[in-house]
Structure 1
Amino acid sequence: MDDSTIENVYRLFGAHTSIAALCDAIELGSGMRDAVMMRIIDPSITLEEFSGIAHSNRIDPSPQSTALINRILLEGPRHPSDNDGMRIMSAAEGISHEAWERNDPELHAVAAYLMWLCGDRGTCGLEARAALILDRNTTMAKLVLDLLERERRQIAQAEQF
Structure 2
Amino acid sequence: MGRQVLVLNADYSALSVCTVPKAFLLVYLNKAEMVAESDSEHLRTVTSSYALPTIIRLHAYVQVPYKRIILNRHNIFKRDHHQCQYCGSNRDLTLDHVLPKSRGGKTTWDNLVAACKHCNSKKGDSLPEEIGMKLRQKPFRPTFVMFVRDYSGNVESTWLPYLNRWR
TM-score normalized with structure 2 length: 0.25
- Relative contact order higher in (CA < 8 Å, ≥ 6 apart): 2
Greater helix content: 1
Larger radius of gyration: 2
Greater strand content: 2
